[in-house]
Chains A and B, each alone.
Chain A
Amino acid sequence: MTTHNTPKELSSSLSAMFDGEATDKDIELLLSADSLKLHEQLENYQLVRSALQGETPSTLVSDASFFNRVTQAIDAEQAAKQENIETDNVNVVPISAVKQSGNNSKDMSLKTIFSSLAIAASVSFVVIFGGNTLFSPVEEGIGITNVVGADSVDSLEEPISLAELELQDAMPADNIRLQHYLRQHAEQSTMNVGQGMMPMARVVSYPIEE
């Protein structure tokens, strides 16, 4: 469903979304907006932002339209989620409930779009504002990071935060044997690396189940 909203209203809602201040009304308006208008507005919005920050818009938009990439990512995620929902229904939910799922699909779809748009917004936020920080004249080389940020739109289905990456191989706190070996190792370091007792400082950081 699309409605005819004024560019000013769209702009205001987009701005609110980018600033993390979007109300329910803003989200509704964006969801119901004509996709082409939204596309144009988004590009304009981005250009204005870029100009304000003295960036080269082409770097951010790249060869494919930024909006299209976001839309594609949303579509892909939406399709994948719907596929998952259907699979789950077939496996778990009785036949009568499968029929109901058709009625719920619109709600699910809206929720999916909402969450996808929110994710997409956050990604685009990173791209745009990341660009502002990273594309400084002194550090042009770091701009590559920004491209990676844009590419990450394609892998929205499994977002992993940096904190999670850090924890993926975190030392298990319940492995008493390993704890013991870590301490043995720290002790030996005090004798062999010429830094006095200082390597023992690591022992305090070792995880302990308490």
Chain B
Amino acid sequence: MRHFHFIFLLLFVALSLFSSLTAASDRALKPTSNESSERALLLLGSMAKSFSSLNYEGVFVHTDSTNMNSMRIRHGLLQDNVYESLEDLDGDKLEVIRINDTMVCVYSDATTANHTTPLNRPFQRFENVDSQRLLKGYQITLEPKLDRIAGRSVQIVKLTPKDAYRFGHEFWLDQENHFLLKHDLIKPSGQLLERTQFASVNFLPDLKIEDFTPKEGTYTKPIMETDRKYTKNVWHFDWLPEGFQLVWPEARVLNHSTSMLLLSDGITNVSVFVEPSMTSKNMSVFRTGATYAGETSFKVKDQRYLLTVVGEVPRITIEKLMTAFMPRH
């Protein structure tokens, strides 16, 4: 009888253990939406860090409704200096080389250089994801299935917009190092607006300093870092889409008395430029790829201003932001 009790007890323990293990494995296989969202946010943070922490050399293709360009990107730490370059492989419009905080724009010749507005800031990195802000604007999920991009296994993070004021994002991140291997920008209707996808990537590149030296015969323009000037922000928005907020508390001063404000929802930027103007301009919105740009003029007392709003957001967002822009009282 005692043996019987002992066997019964053993069976009971074994069954309990088995059921709890099964439940745990189920949870592991099917994460709840909260767990999925948390994991996805961690991956996005890791993705942001990977761009500066990893050495890489790869070729990616950038496409939108009218353009398709292949580009080579390189990043490496050589003799304690950070080297980075982005080269347009299909044309002669752009090559940007960064060595620490010094940036050089390379053009095919001086004429092209004169046509092209130089880039005037070294690249800095954002390495922290503002989870709370992102969650205001997007439903963030980690796809349970793995995919394969550029010969590497990837996890897919989806950002589905919660309103009509932003586009959706899909990120294909390297399963090992969380580097971004593919990015889709998607309209709420599901229409693909823009895709950036690596065709090949090497995380153990044999990079040399010569790789970051402009080719012979090209025209180079070193970009001198100038002190960033800021001024008091005298503007504000009467309305902003959920999750969007100003990145800088002050306004950045650009040339010709232009003030620049930057809005972000944590993943999408909207740049706002305002400058005094002599001429009146009706509201107009243009588009190139996923980027919309709107222009309009308005008057404050006797002074007319020209407002330009640029961002990878739907047309309606650009239009609403232009009507919600006003002087701070």
B99 cross-chain contacts in A, Cβ below 8 A: none
Q: Which residues of chain A in 155-210 are interfacial with respect to chain B, using CB atoms and an 8 Å cutoff?
A: 166, 169-172, 176-185, 187-198, 200-210
Near A by CB (< 8 A), chain B positions 60-87 give 60, 62, 64-67, 69, 71, 73, 75, 84, 86
Q: Which of A188, A193, A197, A209 contacts B267 (CB 8 A)?
A: A193
Report the stretch among B3-11, B88-96, B139-147, B148-156 that lies at the interface.
B88-96
Q: Could you list 22 A-B pairs, sorted by A, with CB under 8 Å?
A: A170-B288, A172-B286, A178-B308, A181-B293, A182-B291, A184-B271, A187-B120, A190-B123, A192-B264, A193-B264, A193-B268, A194-B47, A194-B48, A194-B125, A197-B86, A200-B96, A200-B119, A201-B60, A202-B289, A203-B94, A204-B88, A206-B291
Chain B hits for A179, CB < 8 A: 117
**A191 with B124: CB separation less than 8 A:** yes
Q: Is B44 an interface residue (CB 8 A)?
A: yes
Chain A residues within 8 Å of B, Cβ to Cβ: 166, 169-172, 176-185, 187-198, 200-210
Taken residue by residue from 179 to 203, chain B's Cβ proximity to chain A (1 for < 8 Å, 0 otherwise) reads as 0100100000000001010000000
The interface size bin for chain B is 35 or more
Q: Which of A187, A192, A208 contacts B116 (CB 8 A)?
A: A208
- Residue B160 interfacial (CB < 8 Å): no
Measured CA separation A172–B295 after assembly (Å):
12
Residues of A within 8 A of B115 (CB): 208-210
B129 is an interface residue with CB less than 8 A from chain A: yes
Output the nearest chain A residue to B310 by Cβ-Cβ distance: A185
Cross-chain contact of B121 among A176, A187, A196, A205 (Cβ < 8 A): A187
Chain B CB within 10 A, most for which of A170, A185, A193: A185
Least CB separation from A194: chain B residue: B48
The smallest beta-carbon distance between A83 and chain B, in angstroms, is 32
With both chains docked as a complex, state the minimum distance between the C-beta of B41 and any C-beta of chain A, in angstroms: 12
Set of chain B residues within 8 Å of A183, measured between Cβ atoms: 117, 119
Chain A binding surface SS class: helix
Q: How far is the CB of A139 from chain B (nearest CB, A)?
A: 14
1/0 contact trace for B237-267 toward A, CB 8 Å? 0000000000100000010000010101001
Tell me the nearest residue of chain A to B248, going by C-beta. A188
> Which among B52, B88, B129 is the interface contact of A196 at CB below 8 angstroms?
B52
CB-based nearest B residue for A197:
B86
The interface residues of chain B lying within 8 Å CB-to-CB of A206 are 288, 291
CB distance from B119 to the nearest CB of A (A): 6
**A178–B127 CB distance below 8 A:** no
| Seed contacts A195-B47, A202-B291; 13 additional CB < 8 Å A-B pairs | A169-B287, A171-B288, A181-B273, A181-B308, A182-B291, A187-B119, A191-B124, A194-B44, A195-B48, A196-B125, A198-B180, A202-B290, A208-B116
Kindly list chain B residues whose C-beta atoms are within 8 Å of the C-beta of A205. 62, 64, 66-67, 69, 288-289
With contact pairs A176-B117, A202-B289 given, residues A191 and B196 touching in the complex (Cβ less than 8 Å): no
**Which listed residue, B51, B66, B91, B247, touches A192 by the CB 8 Å rule?**
B247
Q: Which of A194, A204, A205 is packed against the most chain B CB atoms within 10 Å?
A: A194
A-facing residues in B28-50 (Cβ within 8 Å)? 44-45, 47-48
Which residue of chain B is the closest to A179 with respect to CB atoms? Answer: B117
Measured between beta carbons, the chain B residues less than 8 angstroms from A201 are 60, 62, 69, 71, 86, 196
